[in-house]
Amino acid sequence: MVFCDDLGYADIGPFGAKNHSTPALDKMAKEGMKLTDFYSTCPVCTPSRASLMTGCYPRRVNMHVDEKNLCVLFPGAKKGLNPNEITVAETLKKQGYATKCIGKWHLGDHPKFMPTNHGFDSYYGIPYSNDMNRKEIPLPLVRDLKVVADSVQRDETITEKYTTEAVNFIKENSKNPFFLYLPHTAVHLPLVPGKRFKDTSSNGPYGDWVNEVDWSMGEIFKTLKKLGIDENTLVLFTSDNGSAREKQGSNLPLRGRKGRTDEGGMRVPCVVRWPGKIPANTASSAITSTLDILPTFAAISGANSPKDRIVDGKNIWPILSGMSHSHPRDAFFYYQMEQLQAVRSGKWKLTLAMDSKKRNWGKPEGKKELALYDLDNDIHEDKNVAESNPRIVKKLQSLAESARKDLGDLNLKGKGQREAGWVNTASPRLKEK
């Protein structure tokens, strides 16, 4: 499971990249399936990662804002992913899988919130975003719960380090089931491509770093083939949200960017490959999401999704295997932090009317009015067709109201929400206090 940071919809070849080359990902798409309508659950880092791990909307697990009502967790946060939540790693670990997380975690840096307390046998990476270097808390590189290097914000070898760790983990576990979660630091600001990748694209350091991510994917595929386990391994590649940079990164043909609930903020590139199991050179426009990782990986491994709690994700293996072409869900909800801003059902997306007196950060293009879009025919969300489709509007408004009751909205707590993890004493240096 490879999870890039701030990689836009059209930042890789299979989705239309023009300013940098991604031969490994191009080949991956030819040998696998593109999910063209694949969504993150929030257009920023922490909430999207909480969903990937738990199969739940961020508001359900109360990871939509930090303790100061900001959009992501910062070093030394008292809040984190509740240890009582069941993650995809825990689900696979119970099935006998070796598990490792390599890269950006961003779900809390207290020991009880770290990967090694959420089902991962080991961890290597940066606990949060690479722009969070502080004088009092230098950006750390961590192995399990021990800081192994400080102030790695400008480390141009970080992607190479992650890749070496990934290859070694695959080699060490090639004869047994394993789950590798590789959330790259790339391509979040500051941009730090490796030296040998500088000036390899026509898109500056951004494109150079995308090229390095593609190189990393190539190294992983080489390793799988060399070990003879290529046809026994599912690989999924996607991003946590859309690109933040409209001049370098590209979310075209989608509107908007990271931080917004336009399609460009939350619809992300996704390629899935498993030779002999996933039909080659195919694409699906079914509404799929990071929510679906846990139940799908559980089904493939022979495990069950959690039965004692609500999980919002769906098992999309029928779609990946080519057996189904229908949407796996009646509705998908676009939350930005605590606010429900849009809902999609089938080809229809309704952006909800906003109270101008309340915070509307991330609202598509700053719009406040209710608007309905036919995404099949208007992928850039240009034409509001609400007036001519009142029944559709009413249906989607009803779905939104159900989400508000279940997940909450602004200051309204949902009946289906669970508590986040909390500590009274933060531990930014990863030492118990």
Taking residues 164-176, report their average pLDDT.
Answer: 97
Share of residues in the chain with pLDDT > 90 (%): 81
Of 240-244, 292-296, 331-335, the one with minimum mean pLDDT is 240-244
> Which structure tokens are listed for 340?
């429900």
Per-residue pLDDT, 18: 84
Confidence of residue 71 (pLDDT cuts 50, 70, 90): confident
Residue 206 — very low, low, confident or very high, per pLDDT cuts 50/70/90? very high
Per-residue pLDDT of 73-122, as tens digits, reads 888 889 999 999 999 999 999 999 999 999 999 999 999 999 999 999 99
pLDDT the model gives residue 429: 64
- Whether the pLDDT of residue 432 is over 50: the answer is no
- Topology alike, domains 2-320 and 332-413: no
Q: Are strands 146-149 and 141-143 parallel, antiparallel or unpaired?
A: antiparallel
Which parts of 240-303 fold into alpha helices (H)?
Answer: 263-266, 293-301
Q: Reply yes or no on whether the pLDDT at 247 is more than 80.
A: no
Give me the mean pLDDT over the 146-151 stretch. Answer: 90
| 2-320: CATH, from 3.40.720.10, 1.10.3720.10, 3.40.190.10, 1.10.10.60 | 3.40.720.10
pLDDT for 359 equals 55
Section 201-226 average pLDDT? 96
- Catalytic residues, by residue number, are 45, 106
What pLDDT was estimated at residue 353? 82
Which pair of tokens denotes residue 202?
Answer: 């026509």
Instruction: With beta carbons less than 8 A apart as the criterion, state whether 426 and 134 touch.
Output: no
The span from the CA of 22 to the CA of 179, in Å, is 24
pLDDT higher than 90, residue 308: yes
pLDDT attached to residue 363: 56
Regarding pTM above 0.85, the answer is yes
CATH number of 332-413: 3.30.1120.10
DSSP string across 135-178: SSSPPPEEETTEEEES--TT-TTHHHHHHHHHHHHHHHTTTS-E
Q: What is the pLDDT of residue 365?
A: 56
Residue from 182, 166, 158 nearest 219 by CA: 166
Question: Over the stretch 327-336, which tens digit does the pLDDT of each residue have?
Answer: 999 999 999 9
Is the pLDDT score of 288 beyond 50?
yes
pLDDT exceeds cutoff 50 at 187 = yes
- Residue 225's alpha-carbon distances to 28, 33, 174, 217, in angstroms, are 13, 19, 11, 12
User: pLDDT at position 433, please?
Assistant: 31
3-state secondary structure 42-69: CCCHHHHHHHHHHCCCCCCCCCCCCCCC
Average pLDDT score over the chain = 92
Instruction: Inform me whether the pLDDT recorded for 368 exceeds 80.
Output: no
Min mean pLDDT across 22-36, 64-78, 111-125 is at: 64-78
Q: What's the distance, Cα to Cα, between the start and end of the chain in Å?
A: 33
Do the bridges between strand 178-183 and strand 146-149 make them parallel or antiparallel, or are there none, so unpaired?
A: unpaired
Tens of pLDDT, residues 369-395: 899 999 999 999 999 999 999 999 999
- Choice between 364 and 287, residue whose per-residue pLDDT is larger: 287
Residue-range domain boundaries for the chain: 2-320, 332-413
> Which DSSP category does 308 fall into?
S
